Amino acid sequence: MTQNIPELYGSLVFSDKVMRNKLPKDVYKALRKTIENGTHLELDVANSVAVAMKEWAVENGATHFTHWFQPMTGITAEKHDSFISPTGSCEINMDFSGKELVKGEPDASSFPSGGLRATFEARGYTSWDPTSPAFIKDGTLYIPTAFCSYSGEALDKKTPLLRSMEALSQEAVKVLHLLGKTDVTRVTTTVGAEQEYFLVDKDLYEQRKDLIFCGRTLLGAPAPKGQEMEDHYFGSLRPRVAAYMHDLDEELWKLGIPAKTKHNEVAPAQHELAPVFETANVAVDHNQLTMEIMKKVADRHHFVCLLHEKPFEGINGSGKHNNWSMTTNTGLNLLDPGKTPAENTQFLVFLTAVIAAVDEYADLLRTSVATAGNDHRLGANEAPPAIISMFLGEELTAVIDSILNDTYFKNQKAIQMETGATVLPHFMKDTTDRNRTSPFAFTGNKFEFRMPGSSLSMSGPNVILNTAVAEMLSHFAARLDGVPADRLEGTVHELVKTSLEKHKKILFDGNGYTDEWVEEAEKRGLFNLKSTPEALTCFTSEKNCDLLIRHRIFTREEIHSRYEILLENYVKTIHIEARAMQEMVQKDFLPSCLSYMDHLAETAIRKQKLSASLSIASETKILKTLSDLTEQISERLSALTIHVSEAEGMSDVLKAAYDYQSIILTDMEMLRSVCDQSETYLPDQYLPYPTYNKLLFSV
Ligand code: ADP
Ligand code: MG
């Protein structure tokens, strides 16, 4: 039953409204100052907040609290402590102190640290992030926290994000002050993460080891129908899916997550959820929660929610579009072109900074989305290519051309939409049209980075984006500093023009899926980092280390530890996939083929016994084909087994990663191809797992 939505919304969040009601006025003010301006929070304020938070949590049924953090596993971590504190025999108080709110000490030895933390100093610290609201889930008060080592190195995804938001704010404020906007004291980055996902029936899922262990299918012949009819995209929701989405929305709304749009996606069984944008770190926290809740609610509806980037071969995989902009504390969206972008100096400065940043650090941006799963999407003509380029749309391209060529920009009149049907209301067309093939597109008043994979934490891409833009803004600030007022306009124009000259090679409005673009991009000198190992090697280049160290996002040690973790993660992912495939083929698929062949042989023999005149041609034909195919399966399985054990022994993780990418993934593809061919000969009752037909079309 649907409740009153405004009442339901945020009902499990220690929200601003709750804080205003529960906190003493001065405490509330101090906390707001920390949230809005990033100022340090005193312990007495924390004590007071802790009391109110516990009271509110207990009133709402919570018995425990947890410091909720985002280690380098890419998912979230939590350890629950109850509020109880014994006061006598069989008597307790429900206690929670400021110290417990502010700091936690989880044993950190089993989280990936990339060599940053020896196990003998296993202590890790979590510290409260007051800028992301606490919430209640399953009877526990969740406190968003950052996670670092005993000596202060970041071991998580939140710390660098907060650092990068700070860096961007500082530099953006400097530039705004130089441009005369002296009332601005803070700039925040805003993020809206559109999330794609698949839903499959739980019973079917449980019969597939590949889905259970890897989140994607490793075998499976295509269904007779894929996505070629384009009838799933925006199609009407099936009742079971609609019920799921309804439930999901309500769960998200209770947690104050602004889920806004939902629809069917291109591939069968694929869907999307888009929230309203929020401050970057809250949006990232909320996206992590969204992914978790998606899975949890799916279970209730006897579904499994697949967040893998490529669960099924031959149909589109899932991504996560990162919509990104910058807003001042005075409420200005710095990427809003206004009615006359050509005359909007401030907009042009910030637009140019983003263009320069994306061009200068394209390799780092690519690195930030590099995972084994995402390698299946990028460049496969379903998602952007692995080459980063930027799309601006007709109007902005014309503005930029006029700056580059010193010509006068003629503002296009807003274009009236002509549908030819007089009963339809008239409206104006957007002048920023859409280009779905671009990895980084301007969409009205924000940029949309379309490369991230569906399971990725949105921290990484936003860290790089914020930092790279901060860097460009810092150059701009240095250039504009000290320029007298009467020469400011001319200097800004010159600055924008020279930056655009230098970085225009990143701009591309054409079709990013074509081979011509790959050639053209190479001529322009753009990066085309096709695989994760290749991309990750860029992470530690001198130039990229310089950037990240200069803006205090990472220390050199933190960069190297992250590089190690990401490479190891890549290797482990493919290793698990290879092992799962070996097991599925060896123990399930090959025996299935053999029993069907046995059945065919038995039939043939029985037929012949019955009468020599009965034809056994069809049995023989299938037997012959399957016999050839199973022989190839055996051979390819052996090759995979040998290569996996070779790679397993390697101590150089980069070399191992390249082996997994070039040798083992190829072995797996070849093995899959013969298995999938054999699958088309096997009746369903012989198959050890449900087919693509069932997985994709049975809901
Ligand atoms: P589409 O599917 O066409 O890409 P959607 O409307 O589904 O577009 O998603 C657009 C996303 O962009 C939403 O999450 C929206 O909140 C977000 N967005 C809008 N304005 C901004 C902004 N200023 N900063 C960041 N994200 C924004
Ligand atoms: Mg989008």
For residue 397, report the distance from its CA to the centre of ligand 2, in Å. Answer: 20
Q: Do 71 and 39 fall within a single domain? A: yes
- 357 belongs to a structural domain: yes
Contact 568, 653 (CB under 8 A): yes
Q: Per-block average pLDDT, block size 10, for the chain (699 residues)? A: 84 96 95 87 93 97 97 91 92 94 85 70 86 97 94 92 97 97 97 97 98 98 86 87 96 98 92 98 98 98 98 95 97 94 92 98 97 92 89 92 85 60 63 78 95 97 98 98 95 96 96 93 96 96 98 96 95 98 98 98 96 95 98 98 94 95 97 98 96 92
Q: For residue 604, give the CATH number of its domain.
A: 1.20.120.1560
Three-state DSSP string of 133-159: CCEEECCEEEEEEEEEECCCCECECHH
**What residues have CB less than 8 Å from 536, skipping those under 6 apart?**
367, 370, 563, 566, 567, 570, 657
CA-based nearest residue to 326, from 438, 472, 428: 472
- 19 belongs to a structural domain: yes
Q: Do 446 and 511 fall within a single domain? A: yes
Tell which atom from ligand 1 comes closest to the C-alpha of 193: 14
Give residue 420's pLDDT: 65
Q: For residue 307, give the CATH number of its domain.
A: 3.30.590.10
Q: Do 145 and 196 fall within a single domain? A: no
Contact 291, 195 (CB under 8 A): yes
- 523 belongs to a structural domain: yes
Q: 277, 322, 436: which to mutate for ligand 1, most atoms within 8 A of CB?
A: 277
Tell which atom from ligand 1 comes closest to the C-alpha of 192: 14
Give residue 415's pLDDT: 57
* Ligand number nearest to the C-alpha of 190: 1
Is 234 touching ligand 1 by the criterion CB < 6 Å? Answer: no
Residues whose beta carbons lie less than 5 angstroms from ion ligand 2: 194, 321
* Per-residue burial over 130-148, b = 16 or more CB atoms within 10 Å of its CB, e = otherwise: bbbbbbbbeebbbbbbbbb
Q: Do 580 and 538 fall within a single domain? A: no
Residue owning the nearest CA to atom 11 of ligand 1: 192
Bridge partners of residue 322, in order along the sequence: 193, 449
Q: What is the distance between the alpha carbons of residues 152 and 481, in angstroms, rounded to a whole number?
A: 34
Q: Do 534 and 443 fall within a single domain? A: yes
- 480 belongs to a structural domain: yes
Is 333 touching ligand 1 by the criterion CB < 6 Å? Answer: yes
C-alpha gyration radius of the chain: 28
Give residue 155's pLDDT: 92
Q: Do 530 and 401 fall within a single domain? A: yes
Q: Do 133 and 175 fall within a single domain? A: no
For residue 56, report the distance from its CA to the centre of ligand 2, in Å. Answer: 37
Alpha-carbon separation of residue 42 from 95, 463, 555 (angstroms): 20, 27, 27
- 196 belongs to a structural domain: yes
**What residues have CB less than 8 Å from 260, skipping those under 6 apart?**
274, 275, 276
Give residue 213's pLDDT: 98
Is 433 touching ligand 1 by the criterion CB < 6 Å? Answer: no
For residue 321, report the distance from its CA to the centre of ligand 2, in Å. Answer: 5
* Ligand number nearest to the C-alpha of 262: 1
Q: Do 102 and 174 fall within a single domain? A: no
Give residue 423's pLDDT: 67
Give residue 287's pLDDT: 98
- 476 belongs to a structural domain: yes
Is 261 touching ligand 1 by the criterion CB < 6 Å? Answer: yes
Tokens, residue 249 = 């929305």
Which of 494, 519, 554 terminates a domain? The answer is 554
The number of folded domains in the chain is 3
Q: Give the DSSP H/E element, type plus range, for residue 192.
A: strand 187-201
- 144 belongs to a structural domain: yes
CA-based nearest residue to 575, from 218, 70, 205: 218
Give residue 467's pLDDT: 98
Give residue 424's pLDDT: 67
- Condensed to tens digits (0 to 9), the pLDDT of residues 590-641 reads 999 999 999 999 999 999 999 999 999 999 999 999 999 999 999 999 999 9
Tell which atom from ligand 1 comes closest to the C-alpha of 191: 25
Which of 120, 155, 190 terminates a domain? The answer is 155
Tokens, residue 84 = 């109880």
For residue 72, report the distance from its CA to the centre of ligand 1, in Å. Answer: 27
Q: Do 608 and 543 fall within a single domain? A: no
Q: For residue 78, give the CATH number of its domain.
A: 3.10.20.70
Sign of CA dihedral 573, 574, 578, 584: positive
For residue 428, report the distance from its CA to the centre of ligand 2, in Å. Answer: 21
Q: Rounded to two decimals, what is the model's pTM?
A: 0.95
Is 503 touching ligand 1 by the criterion CB < 6 Å? Answer: no
Is 321 touching ligand 1 by the criterion CB < 6 Å? Answer: yes
Give residue 332's pLDDT: 96
* Ligand number nearest to the C-alpha of 272: 1
Q: Do 315 and 169 fall within a single domain? A: yes
Q: Do 540 and 628 fall within a single domain? A: no
Which of 526, 554, 582 terminates a domain? The answer is 554
Q: What is the distance between the alpha carbons of residues 24 and 376, in angstroms, rounded to a whole number?
A: 53
CA-based nearest residue to 439, from 503, 369, 490, 502: 369
Residue owning the nearest CA to atom 17 of ligand 1: 192
Residue owning the nearest CA to atom 5 of ligand 1: 274
By residue range, what is the domain housing residue 616? 570-697
Tell which atom from ligand 1 comes closest to the C-alpha of 261: 7
What dihedral angle (degrees, nearest 10) is formed by the CA atoms of 568, 574, 576, 579?
Answer: -140
Is 643 touching ligand 1 by the criterion CB < 6 Å? Answer: no
Q: What is the distance between the alpha carbons of residues 304 and 466, in angstroms, rounded to a whole number?
A: 34
For residue 392, report the distance from its CA to the centre of ligand 2, in Å. Answer: 15
Q: Do 628 and 523 fall within a single domain? A: no
Give residue 203's pLDDT: 97
Q: 323, 326, 449, 451: which to mutate for ligand 1, most atoms within 8 A of CB?
A: 323
Contact 259, 195 (CB under 8 A): no
Look at phi and psi of residue 387 and say left if phi exceeds 0, alpha if psi is from -120 to 50, else beta: beta
- 255 belongs to a structural domain: no
CA-based nearest residue to 158, from 134, 185, 128: 128
Under DSSP, the state recorded for 664 is I
Contact 644, 575 (CB under 8 A): yes
Tell which atom from ligand 1 comes closest to the C-alpha of 333: 23
| Cα atoms found within 13 Å of the Cα of residue 356, Cβ hemisphere only | 23
For residue 199, report the distance from its CA to the centre of ligand 2, in Å. Answer: 20
